[in-house]
Each structure stands twice: as C-alpha cells, then as structure tokens.
Structure 1
Amino acid sequence: MTSVDTFPQAPTAILSALAEEQSGLIDLLENARRVKHAGREFWLGILHGHPVVLVLARIGKVAATTTAVALIEHFKVGRIIFTGVAGGLGESVNVGDVVVADSFVQHDMDASPLFPRYEVPLYGRTVFESNAALTALLHAAALAAGTVPAYPSARVHRGLMISGDRFVCGAQEAAGIRAGLMAAGHTPLAVEMEGAAVAQVCHDYGVAFASVRTISDRADDTAHVDFPAFVAEVASVYARAIVEKLLPEISA
C-alpha cells in the first residue's frame, strides 16, 4: 500500500490557517496518519494521488516559522501551499474575493534608521517572492474553483500580500498601513499574519512556496462580524476546491 513515506515524490505541505479548512482536507486523506512533532499535529497521507502533509500554521509569524521549518527539515516536503483568510486592502479587493500572493512584505518590520523601513535586516531586501511556477498553478486552480453562492461575483486577484503580528481591524489603521507601503513603492492587496514569514523561510531553504487567501473582511471595524460563519461557508469551501484543482497539476 502506498504511503507518504514510500511515495516516489517529495510530499506537498498544505499549511492551513484555520482548523475548519484543515478538517475538510483530512476527511479526504487516504492512509491518513497523525504525527506529533514540535508541539503540533501533522497529518500525513495521500490526497488525489499525491503525498501530502497537512498542518495548522498557528497564528503569527513566529509560530508559522516554526511550522514551516518543521515541514522542511523533519518531513522533507518539496513545496508548501498556504490557504487561509485575509483582510482586503486593495481598492478593488472585496469580501468573498480570493488573493493569490506573488510576493510578501512584513508591514511591521522597521529596523530604521539602521535599515530602510520594511527591509529585512541582513537580507538587503524587503520583498520575498513566491515561487513563480507554483503560484501560476495556484492562480489557475483558484480561477477553476469557481465561486460560492453567497459571492457569485467574487474575483481572483494576484499580487502583494503583507503580514504582521497584529490583527488589523480598524479602517484608520488599515489606511495607514496601506499609505506607508504605497509611499515606499509597494501596493498591497491583502493583509494577514503569517505568509511573509513562511516566504522568508522558504527563501532560506530554497523550497517552493505559494499562498492563497480568501478575503473575509476589509481590515476595518467590521472585521470581526460573522467570521466563524464566513470561515465555514466560504473560506473552507474555497480552500478545499482550490487544493483539489491544484494537486493534479503538480508534478514531482
């Protein structure tokens, strides 16, 4: 019987931000096996003929970094896919839309005056790109996944995702974050709390990374409204559909 340990292909890690997203994928696993490592539960198995490792990222950049390192060093994954939700910042990015990240910036990184604001110290760079080929496949999968009844006009966007150790839920704060980045030449589409950290880890290890986020709010004063319902009825549905479209397109 084929297992994730014997499959002749490096596993694909599917990193979920929310338990609701992960549970739907666990239900589809063949030969599912739970492994505890680094204080986390990893699920190994076969999904649509591919070996996968499923895990929750946990919340924030440090927690997501630990999870990403464990996936790479302990489980030897060949690529990491991140699904989750985010707050919309781009003018045309609305609730129910999907954003596929092609690059990442930490909006709360500020080591000035030693380094320019937003630049990651000792890297000489502010932006960490996702893997171009994997991101193209993820973007195509998001387009093919379609929409949910609640958001029939939802759109798929592709561009800059920003991350920080703060849940952005005020219109004034969101506007300030966006204005600061725009002044530095960066146009953010959405904000979340983990992606830029995982992108930096994958840059360090040379592992392909791609991320997709469903827009649950506009990062304003309504950011907390009906969040559990949105996750269950929209974000989790999108995540499962996108992963199901993506995996058959991934080769060894």
Structure 2
Amino acid sequence: MIGIIGAMDVEIELLKSDLDLEKKSERAQMVFYQGKLKGKEVVLVKSGIGKVNAAVCTQILVDDFSVDKVIFTGVAGAVDKKLDVGDIVISTDTIQHDVNSTVMGYELGEIAEMNKAKFIADQTLISLAKDAGEKLIEEGATIKVVTGRVLSGDQFIADDEKVEWLKETFGGYCAEMEGAAVGQACFLNDLPFVIIRSMSDKADGSADVDYSTFMEKAANRSYRIVEEMLDHI
C-alpha cells in the first residue's frame, strides 16, 4: 500500500480524479481515499498545511492503513537561485529550518535529544521520481529536474534575505511547510519516503504573486511525476 499526501486540494485533485475509489474514510478531520491508481493500491489524502498536520497524517497512514512507503507531492518556493518556476526538486533529505535549540548546544535544525536534523529520502523512490521527471523533459517540458535538500518550516517564505540565509545555512534547494515532518514521521516508523516539489515561486519578494499565478501549473507537474512513478513501482 502506497501513501500519497498533498497539503492542499490543488495538489491531490488530479490524482483523485484518476483514482479507482474503493473506500473513503475520515480520521482527524482528514479524508483518506483508498483505491487503485495505475493498478497500484494507494491511499490518497490531503493533510492540510503545516508540519503538525503532515506528521499526524503520516502517522495515520502508518497506523490505520499499513502503508509501506510515502510519497509527498506538491509545490514549493525555490531557494536555489538556479531554479525557476516550474522546475522540480526531488528530496535527497529534508530539514526543519525553523527548529532552533542552539541555546542548548544543538545545531540549527537539529532536534533536541534526538540529535538528528536530516531525514534521508529513499534512494529507490528518488530514482523513480528522477526518471519520471526526465520523461517529462523528453516529452517537451522546459524544466529542470534536480535532487536536493528540501527545507520545511511553518512559514511562507517571501523575503530575499531569508532565502539567502536558508541557502547559506542549510544548503536547501526549496522551502515548503510539510516535507520534513513527513520525513521525521517516516524515520520513526522505518518507512521509505520521498518529497516531490514543483516550484510555484522563487520564495522572494515576488512569491505571493508567483504563487497564485503558477501554483496550479506546478501542482500539475508534480501530479504527472507521481503517476509516472506508480507505473514503475
């Protein structure tokens, strides 16, 4: 069973329209759609925005649906200056950029007493996602598909100085609000995961404008990658 999460309706609607629905159920004010997608058994769910929602959602997928892998799909703001709107970032690992226990002697992003900041994505899922992205390019999509670090925090980033700080401090490729929480929950449950993010904006002073304009197109590209991945899982 494959768990597929998006934070917002726009990030799961296309997948939901393709799903051969077998069962719908509700937990923690989230609706879980269980059925077949590309011939694979999946549970599709909108987690809601933010790290707490994403972590709760992931744990429900583990406890109630016995998923054996998790794919998170959606949009993000570009942190790496080489990325443009529409480009794809596939997570190598993910860090919570808003975790700060430095006063206790920990590194920025490091979780106190857990002694861990990075949550490593599954190499097989990374390869499947990268191959799916390359197929989009072969079909004519004028995008870049890269693997790199996904940064998560309960903040919408729309400031040039903050973007520079995120890049210099963490070496991140993009910023969003859920991926590292999914990564931590998967780590605690010994579950493979990958985060797939299409850039909806550049996380700078124009982010609010870019986000509204390009979110739907960016979400569509993430959707196409997930569907192509499912063909090969």
- TM, length-normalised to structure 2: 0.94
Residues 106 and 52 of structure 1: CA distance in aligned 2, closer, same or farther (over 3 Å): same
1:139 aligns with 2:133: no
C-alpha separation between the residues in 1 aligned to 2:191 and 2:9? Answer: 24
Does structure 1 retain, via aligned residues, the 8 Å contact 2:129–2:229?
yes
Does structure 2 retain, via aligned residues, the 8 Å contact 1:33–1:45?
yes
Q: Which residue of 1 aligns with 2:223?
A: 240
SS in 1 for 2:85: coil
Residues 34 and 228 of structure 1: CA distance in aligned 2, closer, same or farther (over 3 Å): farther
- Residues 27-70 of structure 1 show CA distances to partners (whole Å, capped at 9, x for unaligned) of 11113422111211111110111011000121111111111101
1:190 aligns with 2:149: no
How far is the alpha carbon of 1:227 from its aligned partner? Answer: 2.9
- Which residue identity is paired with 2:131? A
CA RMSD of aligned residues (A): 1.7
- Which residue identity is paired with 2:222? A
Q: 2:11 aligns with which of 21, 26, 44?
A: 21
C-alpha separation between the residues in 2 aligned to 1:159 and 1:227? Answer: 21
Q: Which residue of 1 aligns with 2:103?
A: 113
C-alpha separation between the residues in 2 aligned to 1:147 and 1:22? Answer: 24
Q: Which residue of 2 aligns with 1:169?
A: 158
Q: Give the length in aligned residue pairs.
A: 232
- Residues 92-131 of structure 1 show CA distances to partners (whole Å, capped at 9, x for unaligned) of 1111110001101111111112122221112222211111
Q: 1:205 aligns with which of 189, 192, 207?
A: 189
> Where in structure 2 are the equivalents of 1:61-72 lying within 5 Å?
61-72=51-62
Does structure 2 retain, via aligned residues, the 8 Å contact 1:17–1:85?
no
C-alpha separation between the residues in 1 aligned to 2:26 and 2:88? Answer: 31
- Which residue identity is paired with 1:245? E
Higher-helix-fraction structure: 2
- Which residue identity is paired with 1:123? M
Identical positions, percent: 31
C-alpha separation between the residues in 1 aligned to 2:214 and 2:138? Answer: 14
> Where in structure 2 are the equivalents of 1:145-156 lying within 5 Å?
145-146=136-137, 152-156=141-145
Unaligned 5+ runs, structure 2: none
- Which residue identity is paired with 1:239? S
C-alpha separation between the residues in 2 aligned to 1:226 and 1:147? Answer: 26
1:40 aligns with 2:35: no
Does structure 2 retain, via aligned residues, the 8 Å contact 1:26–1:32?
no
1:56 aligns with 2:28: no
Does structure 2 retain, via aligned residues, the 8 Å contact 1:90–1:190?
yes
1:101 aligns with 2:67: no
Does structure 1 retain, via aligned residues, the 8 Å contact 2:88–2:146?
yes
SS in 1 for 2:155: coil
- Which residue identity is paired with 1:58? G
C-alpha separation between the residues in 1 aligned to 2:125 and 2:26? Answer: 28
Shift >4 Å, 4+ stretches: none
Residues 116 and 31 of structure 1: CA distance in aligned 2, closer, same or farther (over 3 Å): closer
1:157 aligns with 2:150: no
- Which residue identity is paired with 2:13? S
Does structure 2 retain, via aligned residues, the 8 Å contact 1:161–1:189?
yes
